[in-house]
Structure 1
Amino acid sequence: MARLAKMAFDGKDLRPMWRNLIAKLLDGTAEAGEGLDLSLIAQLLGDKQAGLAIQHEVLASHQLFRSPCPVRRPRLRVLALAAATDMGSNTPIEFLLEDSGIELMTLYVIPEVELPVPLPEHDIAIVIASDSEDCRDALRKIDGAVSRWPRPLLNPPELIGNMDRDKLHRLLDGIDGLEIPATIAIAREQMADVSSSVLALAEIAAELAFPVIVRPRGSHAGAGLAKLDDRAALARYLEQRQEQEFFISRFVDYSGADGLFRKYRVVFVDGRPYACHMAIAERWDIWYLNAGMSDSAAKRLEEETFMRTFDIGFARRHQTALTGLADRVGLDYFIVDCAETKSGSLLIFEADNTAIVHNMDPPDVFPYKPPQMRKIFDAFADMLDIRARLGRERAA
């Protein structure tokens, strides 16, 4: 995945590879791993439905895959437990393990097939499936085997299940210095009643009032995300959407004194936070790719300062909130997208175990990023080493 994603990120044409793999698939010479590559390429080319259909066919006969390892004698064997889902709903762990000398095996846990007995040989396992609806069966199946798992198992399913948007605010409520608006599940009928004045937002939840943030339940990467300022805007939104269930929350204006919005991605490895990136834009709905960071030297300088001073700046400023967040979430590895409110609190947008952490940005434009990403990758590999060693010591 890491290699294919990097090719797509760099603007390489994946269609020749697609045609070559399709030909091998049609003449019966494609291996199972090439079938998964074909599934990923289809998704990277924008055809998610075809990608998932190919993945389904491949996983019907093969569930265990080994990623290429650059060394003959890996320092560690990691078993990643994945779900049959789109490429954004499993932790992109290959990015974290690039050049680590660690062997990665991925076991897809699917409803039709029980977990293998015995399990593949490994030193440590980690659940990389997300809390999304199409991963729930996989999480339940893994959870049923946790008590008898022969090796240390990181990111246990019961904790991943707390990351859903309507659960996270309850989990984090009350942490000093942290703000997270309640995310409330709402049916289309209720939204229609609000838009026609039959129902008031406060009748759904006391804290709700316009403007609000709305998104379809189960959506990712900002699909269907909108800020709605009044009932008329809500009515127009419903005219454009076909979904039946949504999430709604109050809007928090997190713009700075200069009118710009700043959104941070922070990675937690073994309870410790690390800076991943910072996006700056005039719009509230920021993603790194729409913030124009590569076009602005001033923005990049601010991001570089954020990274270089993270431990003595951002992390110290929000130490209480970050510590409370790590303790409540409890996962060995997870990611948070956040901001700072006008009052100085840490504003949490979302937390999950699958947001992408990568080193694909061009180093000539972002020379400060490779060292920071290397710090995160090394911390992740060190955590695996330490946990595997502790597991061996307990077993002995």
Structure 2
Amino acid sequence: MVSPIQHRQRLLNELDRLERLIAEGDPSGELRLERADLLARLGRDTDAKEAYIALLAVMPSHFRLLNNLGTLLDGLGYTSAARTLYREAVKHHPGHPTGLINLGTSLQKAREFEEARTHFAAALALDPDSIEANRGMAYTLAGQGDEAAARPYREKGFRQRPTLIRPYRGDAAPIELLVLSSSAGGAVPILQHVDDRLFATTVLFVDFADPTVPLPPHRLIFNAIGDADLAAAALQDASALAARSTAPVINRPEAVRVTGRADNAERLAGIRGLITPKMAMLPRTSLSNAAAMLAGRGIAFPCLLRSPGFHTGHHFVRVERPEDLAAAAAELPGEVLIAIEYLDASGTDGKIRKYRVMMIDHALYPLHAAVSHDWKVHYFTADMAENAAHRSEDERFITAMEEVLTQDQRRTLADIEKALGLDYGGIDFGIDRAGNLLLFEANATMVVNPVDSDPRWTYRRAPVQQVMDAIHALLHDRAAQGTS
């Protein structure tokens, strides 16, 4: 077997050879494209990006250039630019399955499900057995709430190959990382924080893993199954798999399994300074007497109704009156819905504020304060980009949380963190006019995205980088425990 050092040396030798040939002339750009691909494989992302971009003027419709530059930018967090390149690749090469799959995947992650579905369907028409296209279609249909339609694609996409191996681009012996995931979704987006020049990562989809097959080589396990409402069965599978290893486990499945919305509302209710909403599970078959059931649980109207397993405000509505319940439920997917007491987080100015604090290795890091006039607050759809005053509130929270939250409120957050016991997760909360924290959500599914290049978000760069640095430190520290 070729060692990482030997493999890297071969790539460097090939790079030297290409650069000598390029010096003799490369009018077509093909040699320079090979060089850009090599730079990307070597982990020299900035050099690779510059090399690819320079070639756009020479070969603007070349499939490999458009696709590989898109893949590089996507990995660096420039998802919108990557999607533009994937569109160009599909426009010029509509019969290339890889281009269709990459564009579909980008759209699916952006929750543009209808267009994603079109591209995955086109890819499957070209190659019905494509594992990537079947997986993408399964995720897309599940995102639309059509679990029955997603199931056969999921079976075809994961049954024969329940793993995903990320290329390793380091020059020394790697840290072998095993990520436990679920084919149904609900995963922590941890891979964007894993440096592929340090970690050799294998993703194992636990719901399709053969329990008789040895686990992939690993020094560290990260359980990325974060949604206890969506993936309860997968978390049980993950517990059994993790029990077969002596490696450190980040976010043990047993801890994640009890972080469903209803579980959290019940077990965190006793924390001083925290108000958790009353909740009730509503099978569709019980909707005819749902109003009486909710009244018996102390849930008044308006109340909230949502489908389990969805986030960022999707399949989540406010129901003003009992007589509106049936119509609201008809718009939501799933056989069981969650009715949630509406907690009023409006300030004296009528605005709603939703705060997010990340929990990384048992420390708290402020991530954002979203300000909106709408009850359904999500940072990227709130009134932030066009409102300097709201951004100023966000900046004050993430740079001086101790000035925004009282000592008692910070103690309440610390008590929530301790009760949850997660290595990686987040808390979404509001504050009522009496100063109590209002629990919206607390689990492992929270996303930490790179900061957009727009200068309006410059103030966010250092605080968000601090969170990312904490994630990197968590991975490295736990991996070191696996070698001690």
TM range (shorter): 0.7 to 0.9
For the Cα contact (< 8 Å) 1:338–1:347, is it kept in 2? yes
Match of 1:77 in 2: 176
Is residue 202 of structure 1 aligned with residue 289 of structure 2? no
For the Cα contact (< 8 Å) 2:227–2:445, is it kept in 1? no
Match of 2:244 in 1: 148
What RMSD in Å do the two structures reach over aligned CA positions? 3.5
Measured in 2, the distance between the counterparts of 1:135 and 1:381 equals 26
Is residue 231 of structure 1 aligned with residue 322 of structure 2? yes
What aligned pairs does 1:286-305 form with structure 2 within 5 A after superposition? Answer: 286-305=377-396
Q: 1:57 aligns with which of 138, 156, 160?
A: 156
> Could you say if the C-alpha distance between residues 379 and 312 of structure 1 is closer, same or farther in structure 2, counting changes exceeding 3 Å?
farther
The number of residue pairs the alignment matches comes to: 384
> Could you say if the C-alpha distance between residues 68 and 262 of structure 1 is closer, same or farther in structure 2, counting changes exceeding 3 Å?
farther
Match of 1:180 in 2: 276
For the Cα contact (< 8 Å) 2:229–2:261, is it kept in 1? no
Measured in 2, the distance between the counterparts of 1:122 and 1:143 equals 16
Of 346-355 and 139-148, the range deviating more from structure 2:
139-148
- The code of the aligned residue for 2:412 comes to A
SS at structure 1 position matched to 2:270:
coil
State the Cα deviation string for residues 220-245 of structure 1 (Å, max 9, x = none). Answer: 33233222232233344245457542
Measured in 1, the distance between the counterparts of 2:475 and 2:439 equals 27
C-alpha deviation, 1:285, in angstroms: 0.7
- The code of the aligned residue for 1:141 comes to D
- The code of the aligned residue for 1:79 comes to L
Is residue 270 of structure 1 aligned with residue 361 of structure 2? yes
SS at structure 1 position matched to 2:243:
helix
- The code of the aligned residue for 1:113 comes to D
Is residue 129 of structure 1 aligned with residue 129 of structure 2? no
**Which runs of no fewer than 5 residues in structure 2 stay unpaired?**
1-70, 101-121
C-alpha deviation, 1:274, in angstroms: 0.9
Measured in 2, the distance between the counterparts of 1:211 and 1:257 equals 20
> Could you say if the C-alpha distance between residues 81 and 319 of structure 1 is closer, same or farther in structure 2, counting changes exceeding 3 Å?
same
- The code of the aligned residue for 2:213 comes to P
State the Cα deviation string for residues 142-164 of structure 1 (Å, max 9, x = none). Answer: 21233331211111111111111
For the Cα contact (< 8 Å) 2:228–2:258, is it kept in 1? no
- The code of the aligned residue for 1:12 comes to T
Normalising by structure 2, we get a TM-score of 0.69
Match of 2:38 in 1: none
Higher relative contact order (CA 8 A, sep 6+): 1
Match of 1:12 in 2: 84
For the Cα contact (< 8 Å) 2:139–2:184, is it kept in 1? no
For the Cα contact (< 8 Å) 2:135–2:158, is it kept in 1? no
> Could you say if the C-alpha distance between residues 53 and 362 of structure 1 is closer, same or farther in structure 2, counting changes exceeding 3 Å?
farther
For the Cα contact (< 8 Å) 1:216–1:225, is it kept in 2? yes
> Could you say if the C-alpha distance between residues 363 and 391 of structure 1 is closer, same or farther in structure 2, counting changes exceeding 3 Å?
same
What aligned pairs does 1:209-358 form with structure 2 within 5 A after superposition? Answer: 209-238=300-329, 240-241=331-332, 243-311=334-402, 313-314=404-405, 316-358=407-449
Q: 1:110 aligns with which of 198, 204, 207?
A: 207
For the Cα contact (< 8 Å) 1:335–1:354, is it kept in 2? yes
Measured in 2, the distance between the counterparts of 1:388 and 1:54 equals 35
Percent identical across equivalent pairs?
A: 23
Measured in 2, the distance between the counterparts of 1:148 and 1:239 equals 43
State the Cα deviation string for residues 249-305 of structure 1 (Å, max 9, x = none). Answer: 221111112111111121100111111222111011111222131112221121111
**Which runs of no fewer than 5 residues in structure 1 stay unpaired?**
none
For the Cα contact (< 8 Å) 1:95–1:357, is it kept in 2? no
Match of 2:473 in 1: 382
- The code of the aligned residue for 2:243 comes to S
- The code of the aligned residue for 1:179 comes to I
For the Cα contact (< 8 Å) 2:145–2:334, is it kept in 1? no
Match of 2:265 in 1: 169
User: Is the helix fraction higher in 1 or 2?
Assistant: 2
Normalising by structure 1, we get a TM-score of 0.83
For the Cα contact (< 8 Å) 2:138–2:153, is it kept in 1? no
* Structure label with greater radius of gyration: 2
SS at structure 1 position matched to 2:455:
coil
SS at structure 2 position matched to 1:367:
helix
